[in-house]
């Protein structure tokens, strides 16, 4: 089937998609054997095809695969491990197949416990693709053609201090921006006529542009919501299991303990498994309905064996510590790019969760959307490095690589990224002067950096054809 016919499906590199046939560690390989450095895949959390995870799943699949309405040691171990890694009284686990299911169930728990229906979510948030969580995902319902926002959903501003409603450059140094953003939630709580059931937020917004909330924000929001009788939900689907380096869960540095936590993606290293973890009190409210919960495949022996293996590997191979060490190096080196390139507006992140925001003008912080898309495409075609872009204006280059990503991989990324930014600046100069500036190649060249994964011939600006990234940067 041709790609042009897949109008409802979203692919990376849609105009020239990759057919990936194999993965190993932090690398993926296409059907021709070309190797790509994977800076995208927070799904393959402990590395593609980790042998210990593969072995655990294979062994269990060869022994027993059934639904979760039977007792099984792997199920009990998985619940125990998750509960042990959670702070406070988060000790009751419900197993599901995906992050969408996890967030859907979290809403059910919150609504049953509070006997309310209204939900506060953050602008640009994404919580899944089933109907209930599409309703609380502005990232989806604000798209052209998206369903209107339901009246019971309230959208608070994303706590983005760089290009959000309250920018750090618009206030005196030392201003409590966390308070300003939390006040927005407080006003929503006060305006609610029927009461708020839940506040849900990703601990770090990924689809929203790799957003790091300001200090104190979540503490103030949680206090406001709980005083009003609501519960708090932390969506850890994309950022949990040690990715941030400093802690196992991304909500922990904020000094908060949610009432409900949802996890998925990295939990199965590519296998569909997720969970909701909550308190005994909320679980009891949910059970009091008499409507028993079960999920045919959520918590099945194979899924739990895989999840247990993933959590063991994180601990045994010290991948959280690796995320902290490599992430600090990657973030520090990425921040230095701002001294070299005017396109780089902001660099933010923690651990192996990094965003580089490209702007046309640093003073006005206007997004450089086409430049970001050009970088993503050139990183793939020239350097064989896979990154993506996201955010409200699709101008934030995102890095969420497998946790086995190392400093050599970081150097390889930085080399490729610098080359892409240099190329874009030269293209812009060429457009401004209508002449080929010094240093722009007019004949094919090959990337020869020792850390590059093979490079490919890059056509001259004249003969680039359908892969001419200059067509993407007319307004940078």
Domain of residue 133 covers 51-317
Instruction: From 249, 284, 317, give the residue that closes a domain.
Output: 317
pLDDT of residue 34: 96
CATH code, domain carrying 353: 3.90.1150.10
Contact indicator for 118, 192 with CB cutoff of 8 Å: yes
- Same-domain pairing of 291 and 384: no
- Same-domain pairing of 84 and 211: yes
- Same-domain pairing of 359 and 269: no
pTM of the full predicted structure?
0.89
Q: Residue 213 falls within a domain, yes or no?
A: yes
- Same-domain pairing of 313 and 323: no
Q: String of b and e for 301-316 (b: at least 16 CB within 10 Å)?
A: bbbbbbbbbbbbbbee
CATH code, domain carrying 308: 3.40.640.10
Question: Does residue 291 or residue 424 have the better pLDDT?
Answer: 424
Contact indicator for 394, 440 with CB cutoff of 8 Å: no
- Same-domain pairing of 299 and 347: no
Burial category of 347 from C-beta neighbours within 10 Å (exposed 0-12, middle 13-18, buried 19 and up)? buried
Domain count, the chain: 2
Q: Above 60 in pLDDT, residue 132?
A: yes
Which region among 64-73, 203-212, 277-286, 347-356 has the lowest average model confidence (pLDDT)? 64-73
Contact indicator for 290, 119 with CB cutoff of 8 Å: no
d(CA 137, CA 132): 9
pLDDT of residue 146: 76
pLDDT of residue 154: 97
- Same-domain pairing of 38 and 161: no
Report the pLDDT averaged over residues 251-270. Answer: 97
Instruction: From 317, 337, 357, give the residue that closes a domain.
Output: 317
Report the pLDDT averaged over residues 261-281. Answer: 97
Q: Residue 172 falls within a domain, yes or no?
A: yes
Q: 3-state secondary structure string, the chain? A: CCHHHCCCCCCCCCCCCCCEEEEEECEEEECCCCEEEECCCCCCCCCECCHHHHHHHHHHHCCCCCCCCCCCHHHHHHHHHHHHHCCCCCCEEEEECCHHHHHHHHHHHHHHHHCCCEEEEECCCCCCCCHHHHCCCHHHHCCCCCCCCCCCEEEECCCCCCCCCCCHHHCCCCCCHHHHHHHHHHHHHHHCCCCEEEEEEECCECCCCCECCCCCHHHHHHHHHHHCCCEEEEECCCCCCCCCCCCCCCCHHHCCCCCEEEECHHHHCCCCCEEEEECHHHHHHHHCCCCCCCCCCCCCHHHHHHHHHHHHHHHHCCHHHHHHHHHHHHHHHHHHHHHCCCCEEEEEECCCCEEEEEEEECCCCEECHHHHHHHHHHHHHCCCEECEEECCCCCEEEECCCCCCCHHHHHHHHHHHHHHHHHHHHHHHHHHHCCCCCCCCCCCECCCCCCCCCCCCECCCCCCHHHCHHHHCCCC
Q: String of b and e for 205-241 (b: at least 16 CB within 10 Å)?
A: bbbbbbbbbbebbbebbbebbeebebbbbbbbbbbbb
- Same-domain pairing of 173 and 137: yes
- Same-domain pairing of 24 and 68: no
pLDDT of residue 70: 85
- Same-domain pairing of 340 and 287: no
| Per-residue model confidence as pLDDT tens digits over 306-336 | 999 999 999 999 999 999 999 999 999 999 9
d(CA 161, CA 181): 9
Q: Residue 444 falls within a domain, yes or no?
A: no
Q: Above 70 in pLDDT, residue 419?
A: yes
Report the pLDDT averaged over residues 128-154. Answer: 86
- Same-domain pairing of 60 and 190: yes
Q: Residue 120 falls within a domain, yes or no?
A: yes
Report the pLDDT averaged over residues 119-145. Answer: 89
Which region among 38-47, 190-199, 430-439 has the lowest average model confidence (pLDDT)? 430-439
Tell me the average pLDDT of the chain.
Answer: 89
pLDDT of residue 445: 36
pLDDT of residue 327: 98
Banded pLDDT at 142 (limits 50, 70, 90): confident
pLDDT of residue 9: 66
| Per-residue model confidence as pLDDT tens digits over 185-195 | 999 999 999 99
Q: Residue 392 falls within a domain, yes or no?
A: yes
| Per-residue model confidence as pLDDT tens digits over 354-393 | 999 999 999 999 999 999 999 999 999 999 999 999 999 9
Q: Residue 366 falls within a domain, yes or no?
A: yes
pLDDT of residue 188: 98
> What is the percent of the chain where pLDDT is above 90?
78
Report the pLDDT averaged over residues 48-57. Answer: 98
Instruction: From 317, 333, 368, give the residue that closes a domain.
Output: 317
pLDDT of residue 435: 52
Q: Residue 335 falls within a domain, yes or no?
A: yes
- Same-domain pairing of 246 and 374: no
Q: Residue 466 falls within a domain, yes or no?
A: no
Which region among 1-15, 215-229, 282-296, 407-421 has the lowest average model confidence (pLDDT)? 1-15
- Same-domain pairing of 306 and 327: no
């Amino acid at each position: 089937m041709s790609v042009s016919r897949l109008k409802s499906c979203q692919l990376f590199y849609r105009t020239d998609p990759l057919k990936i046939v194999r993965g190993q560690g932090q690398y993926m390989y296409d059907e021709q054997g070309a190797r790509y450095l994977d800076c995208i895949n927070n799904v393959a959390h402990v590395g593609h095809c980790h042998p210990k995870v593969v072995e655990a799943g294979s062994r269990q699949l060869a022994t027993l695969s059934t639904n979760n309405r039977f007792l099984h040691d792997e199920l009990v171990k998985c619940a125990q491990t998750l509960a042990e890694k959670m702070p406070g009284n988060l000790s009751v686990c419900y197993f599901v197949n995906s992050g969408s299911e996890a967030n859907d169930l979290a809403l059910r728990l919150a609504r049953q416990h509070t006997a309310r229906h209204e939900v506060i979510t953050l602008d640009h948030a994404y919580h899944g693709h089933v109907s209930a969580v599409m309703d609380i995902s502005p990232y989806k319902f604000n798209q052209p053609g998206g369903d209107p926002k339901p009246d019971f959903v309230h959208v608070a501003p994303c706590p983005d201090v760089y290009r959000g409603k309250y920018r750090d450059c618009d206030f005196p140094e030392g201003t409590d921006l966390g308070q300003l953003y939390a006040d927005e939630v407080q006003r929503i709580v006060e305006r609610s006529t029927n009461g708020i059931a839940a506040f849900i937020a990703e601990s770090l917004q990924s689809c929203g542009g790799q957003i790091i909330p300001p200090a104190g924000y979540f503490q103030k929001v949680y206090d406001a919501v709980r005083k009003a009788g609501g519960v708090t939900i932390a969506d850890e689907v994309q950022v949990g299991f040690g990715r941030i380096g400093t802690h196992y869960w991304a909500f922990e540095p904020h000094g908060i303990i949610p009432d409900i936590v949802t996890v998925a993606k990295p939990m199965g290293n590519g296998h569909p498994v997720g969970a909701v973890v909550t308190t005994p009190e909320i679980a009891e409210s949910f059970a009091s309905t008499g409507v028993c919960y079960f999920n045919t495949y959520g918590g099945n022996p194979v899924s739990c064996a895989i999840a247990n293996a993933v959590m063991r590997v994180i601990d045994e191979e010290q991948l959280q510590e690796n995320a902290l060490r490599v992430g600090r190096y990657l973030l520090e080196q990425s921040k230095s790019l701002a001294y070299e390139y005017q396109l780089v507006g902001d660099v933010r992140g923690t651990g192996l969760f990094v965003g580089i925001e490209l702007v046309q003008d640093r003073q006005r912080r206007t997004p450089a959307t086409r430049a970001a898309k050009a970088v993503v495409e050139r990183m793939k075609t020239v350097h064989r490095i896979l990154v993506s872009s996201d955010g409200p204006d699709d101008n934030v280059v995102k890095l969420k690589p497998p946790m086995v990503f190392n400093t050599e991989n970081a150097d390889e990324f930085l080399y490729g990224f610098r080359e892409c930014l240099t190329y874009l600046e030269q293209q812009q100069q060429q457009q401004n002067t209508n002449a080929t500036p010094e240093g722009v190649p007019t004949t094919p060249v090959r990337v020869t950096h020792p850390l590059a994964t093979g490079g490919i011939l890059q056509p001259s600006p004249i003969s680039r054809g359908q892969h001419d990234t200059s067509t993407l940067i007319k307004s940078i």
